[in-house]
Chain A
Amino acid sequence: MNIQTALWIAQRASAAVLALCVAVHLAMIIYAVQGGLTAAEILERTRGNAGWLAFYSVFVLAVTIHAPIGLRSVFAEWLGWRGRSRDVVLSLFALLIAWMGMRAALGVFA
Chain B
Amino acid sequence: MKVFVKRNSGFQEFEVPRHPSQTVLDVVTYIQRSLDPTLAYRYACRVGMCGSCAMTVNGVPRWTCRTHVDRVVRNDALEVGPLKNLPVIRDLVTDMREFFDKWARARGQFAGERTKRDDFHKVKPSSSDRVQVDSNIECIGCGVCYAACDVVAWNPDYLGPAALNRAWTLVKDERDSLKTERLRAVAGDAGCHSCHTHMSCTERCPKHLSPTAGIAGLKRETAKALLKGEL
List the interface of chain A (C-beta within 8 A of B). 1-9, 12, 73, 76-78, 82
- Give chain B interface residues in 207-231, CB to chain A under 8 Å: 219, 222-223, 225-227, 231
* 9 chain-A/chain-B pairs, Cβ below 8 angstroms: A1-B226, A1-B231, A2-B222, A4-B187, A4-B191, A73-B196, A76-B154, A76-B155, A76-B189
- Checking B151, B188, B196 against A5 with a beta-carbon cut-off of 8 angstroms, the contacting residue is B188
Are A77 and B187 in contact (CB-based, < 8 A)? no
- A8: B residues at CB distance < 8 A: 193, 219, 222-223
Are B189 and A4 in contact (CB-based, < 8 A)? yes
Q: In the docked arrangement, what's the CA distance between A44 and B105, Å?
A: 60
- B67: A residues at CB distance < 8 A: none
Are A77 and B154 in contact (CB-based, < 8 A)? yes
B-side interface residues, number (CB < 8 Å)? 18
Assess A77 versus B151: contact at CB under 8 Å? Given A2-B187, A9-B226: yes
CB distance from B206 to the nearest CB of A (A): 27
Q: In the docked arrangement, what's the CA distance between A7 and B231, Å?
A: 13
Residue of B whose beta carbon sits closest to that of A82: B189
Question: Which residue, A3, A5, A8, A78, has most C-beta atoms of chain B within 10 A?
Answer: A5
Are B155 and A4 in contact (CB-based, < 8 A)? no
Question: Which residue, B225, B226, B231, has most C-beta atoms of chain A within 10 A?
Answer: B226
Residue of B whose beta carbon sits closest to that of A9: B223
Are A2 and B155 in contact (CB-based, < 8 A)? no
Are A5 and B226 in contact (CB-based, < 8 A)? yes
CB distance from B78 to the nearest CB of A (A): 32
Residue of B whose beta carbon sits closest to that of A78: B154
